Amino acid sequence: MENRITLHGRNFKPLIPNAKLEEAIDILAEKINHDFEGVTEEDAPILLCTLNGAMIFMGELLKRITFPCIVKAAKLSSYEGTRSTGIVKSETVIKGIEGRSIIVVEDIVDTGNTVEAMEKMLFSLGAADVRICTMLLKPEVYKKQIPLDYVALEIPNKFIVGFGLDYDELGRNSKDIYVLDE
């Protein structure tokens, strides 16, 4: 793991090495595989990747999923720079979910605004069941009533980058996770 990275003139220090991320994803995938054991192609759940942040997590998770599943993606955003705006913007139309179980695959849940908006949208489109799967959770700031079914790791309420997470579109390609060093 590199000691530091610099993005847009700001310094980030190591927080979570890739090996710890991979181990957490292994454990999470075991839980999901157990919960969906026995599903068939006819009732295959949809794994819905929230773009762009969850792409790497979704790819790693899919390598470990052992049941039939359908993969879709949705683009929602609420961040500008290092802060959440509190307003969730949807840039995607999601089709073909009527009567299906959906596993929303998130990179990080902090305020829960995106999860809340996504769940509401999916049920309005006819989803039978919505489960939330996140790589990272900031429990200090998550105050929503929506249950998070699958959480790989909990982290402090700090701004992070790497493993799909970005700072104004940079830093997603780091295999480790870094925290803003201020």
Sequence-ordered alpha helix ranges (H) in the chain: 18-35, 55-64, 113-124
Q: Are strands 5-7 and 10-16 parallel, antiparallel or unpaired?
A: antiparallel
Core vs surface per residue 39-48: b (16+ CB within 10 A) or e: eeeeeebbbb
Cα separation, 64 vs 101, in Å, equals 19
Whether 181 is catalytic is: no
Please identify which of the residues 110, 129, 149, 176 carries the catalytic annotation.
110
The catalytic residues are 110
